[in-house]
């Protein structure tokens, strides 16, 4: 059980002013203090909830969700986060809406925001599109708020774009911090972000990029491992290098999975598509060349099939630190013999870490709630104390 007061004191020392009234997209747009504040508020909100103390800061209000890709866990994490703050979800289902009828992003963004306090968007399918779309939405609602059309300015939470997956990366970071007993203990730890084989194709790069773009801030030895041809965005690698240098950590890249795993403290194994292929796919999509997309998909599947040896096997785990590296995955994983004939991870490895994997996922709703909380309150520490003092029961208890 975390210590609420310790978290609040910690929070007082952190400058999160820059998050007030703003949005949360890539983690590298946020200062170290802001990242630390996000985790502190997340843990504090979790502590209040575990003590059956209501964290509702809204009596009414809408949280708009826009999912341009399938999602179970992120959808439920967003709903959970908004619900615990008192907001009702209104999903913008583009198939049901008139967006098909040629509505501009700017107009739609305003039309759905008259009573929206938050907008959560997942748009990770096409390189150069998701992040750009979110910024268009932000600009639209900021303008409409300035013009007095919107009474409140909804703040955007990036639920995964084409570059970063901030809610995942921060949940992962919080998981590692809790596993290693404090952020100070991350220094010098080796974490491997490794590509792994999956029979499916075209998975976003944003998880891998999110990990190297965030973990390098804490003095860790971050290694990106993938077969040749699975390079990520160079811009993100530049960020990783910069953070590694600043934090006294390391960032390196290898095409040798075993070398990467050797003495690793944490191994994060996940499939993704090559950046260049994703760029090509976006272009084909832009041209409406769906035959081209099908052809590309076939090529990608064949290319993947050449790297079935890239899997988180028991054998691979053996070379990690004491054979006991922390195994991580955003889920769902392609588990060999379970959800795929050949996949990202051995069933025995997955099962051994199942509890940790579920715990990893459990941080996400609180990270999202924290992002919203910090966008709404200038003095988050004060509000958290207010909530504790108010002491409203989340669930009625027998008196």
Spatial separation of the C-alpha atoms in residues 19 and 378, rounded to whole Å: 8
Q: Which of 55, 168, 174, 313 binds a copy of itself (CB under 8 A)?
A: 55
Q: Which of 38, 79, 206, 375 binds a copy of itself (CB under 8 A)?
A: 79
In the complex, least distance from residue 229 CB atom to a copy of itself, rounded to whole angstroms: 24
In the complex, least distance from residue 363 CB atom to a copy of itself, rounded to whole angstroms: 9
Question: Binding of a copy of itself at residue 132 (CB under 8 A)?
Answer: no
Question: Binding of a copy of itself at residue 105 (CB under 8 A)?
Answer: no
Question: Binding of a copy of itself at residue 139 (CB under 8 A)?
Answer: no
382 Cβ contact partners less than 8 Å away, ≥ 6 residues apart: none
- What does the per-residue mask of binding to a copy of itself show for 359-398, with x meaning CB under 8 A? x-xx--x----------xxxx--xx--xx----xxxxx-x
309 Cβ contact partners less than 8 Å away, ≥ 6 residues apart: 197, 257
Question: Binding of a copy of itself at residue 303 (CB under 8 A)?
Answer: no
Is there a contact between 267 and 261 (Cβ–Cβ < 8 Å)? yes
What CA–CA distances, in Å, run from 2 to 41, 46, 80, 168? 12, 9, 20, 21
Contacting a copy of itself within 226-245 (CB under 8 A): none
Q: Which is nearer to a copy of itself, 98 or 287 (CB)?
A: 98
Spatial separation of the C-alpha atoms in residues 124 and 379, rounded to whole Å: 33
- What does the per-residue mask of binding to a copy of itself show for 176-205, with x meaning CB under 8 A? ------------------------x-----
Spatial separation of the C-alpha atoms in residues 362 and 171, rounded to whole Å: 8
Contacting a copy of itself within 314-333 (CB under 8 A): 331-332
Q: Which of 107, 184, 263, 314 binds a copy of itself (CB under 8 A)?
A: 107
Q: Which is nearer to a copy of itself, 49 or 253 (CB)?
A: 49
In the complex, least distance from residue 64 CB atom to a copy of itself, rounded to whole angstroms: 8
Question: Binding of a copy of itself at residue 304 (CB under 8 A)?
Answer: no
Q: Which of 17, 31, 54, 185 binds a copy of itself (CB under 8 A)?
A: 54
Among the candidate windows 59-67, 182-190, 228-236, 319-327, which touches a copy of itself by CB under 8 A? Answer: 59-67
322 Cβ contact partners less than 8 Å away, ≥ 6 residues apart: none
Q: Which is nearer to a copy of itself, 11 or 244 (CB)?
A: 11
Tell me the β-bridge partners of 270.
Answer: 195
Q: Which of 17, 31, 90, 348 binds a copy of itself (CB under 8 A)?
A: 90
Is there a contact between 130 and 163 (Cβ–Cβ < 8 Å)? yes
Contacting a copy of itself within 17-46 (CB under 8 A): 46
With CA atoms as reference, report the closest residue to 193 among 215, 176, 162, 167.
215
Q: Which is nearer to a copy of itself, 51 or 276 (CB)?
A: 51
Spatial separation of the C-alpha atoms in residues 313 and 358, rounded to whole Å: 20
Cβ neighbours of 122 (radius 10 Å): 25
User: Cα–chain-centroid distance for residue 247?
Assistant: 22
> To which residue do tokens 């609602």 refer?
141
Report residue 68 as tokens: 């341009």
């Amino acid at each position: 059980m975390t210590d609420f007061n310790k978290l609040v004191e910690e929070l007082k020392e952190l400058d999160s002013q820059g998050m007030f009234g703003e949005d949360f997209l890539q983690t590298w747009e946020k200062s170290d203090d802001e990242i630390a504040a996000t985790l502190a508020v997340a843990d504090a909100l979790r502590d209040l909830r575990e003590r059956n103390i209501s964290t509702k800061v809204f009596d009414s209000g809408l949280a708009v969700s826009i999912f341009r890709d399938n999602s179970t866990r992120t959808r439920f994490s967003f709903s959970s986060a908004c619900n615990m703050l008192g907001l009702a979800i209104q999903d913008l289902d583009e198939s049901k809406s008139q967006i098909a009828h040629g509505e501009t992003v700017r107009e739609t963004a305003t039309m759905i925001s008259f009573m929206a306090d938050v907008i959560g968007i997942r748009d990770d399918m096409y390189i150069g599109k998701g992040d750009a779309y979110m910024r268009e939405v932000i600009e639209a609602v900021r303008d409409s708020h300035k013009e007095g059309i919107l009474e409140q300015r909804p703040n955007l939470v990036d639920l995964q774009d084409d570059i970063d997956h901030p809610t995942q990366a921060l949940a992962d970071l919080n998981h590692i911090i809790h596993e290693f007993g404090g952020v100070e203990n991350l220094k010098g730890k080796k974490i491997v972000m490794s590509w792994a084989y999956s029979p499916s194709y075209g998975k976003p790069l944003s998880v891998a990029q999110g990990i190297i773009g965030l973990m390098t801030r804490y003095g860790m030895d971050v290694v990106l491992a993938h077969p040749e041809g699975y390079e990520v965005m160079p811009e993100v690698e530049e960020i990783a290098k910069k953070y590694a240098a600043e934090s006294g950590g390391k960032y390196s890249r290898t095409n040798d999975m075993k070398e990467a795993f050797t003495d690793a403290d944490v191994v994060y194994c996940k499939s993704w598509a090559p950046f260049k292929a994703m760029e090509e796919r976006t272009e084909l999509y832009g041209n409406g060349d769906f035959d081209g997309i099908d052809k590309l998909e076939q090529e990608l599947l064949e290319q993947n099939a050449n790297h079935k040896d890239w899997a988180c096997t028991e054998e691979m785990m053996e070379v990690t630190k004491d054979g006991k590296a922390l195994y991580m995955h955003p889920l769902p994983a392609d588990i060999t013999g379970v959800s795929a004939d050949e996949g990202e991870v051995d069933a025995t490895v997955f099962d051994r870490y199942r509890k940790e994997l579920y715990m990893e996922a459990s941080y996400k709703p609180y990270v999202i709630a924290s992002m919203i909380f910090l966008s709404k309150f200038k003095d988050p520490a004060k509000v958290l104390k207010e909530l504790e003092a108010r002491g409203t029961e989340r669930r009625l208890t027998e008196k």
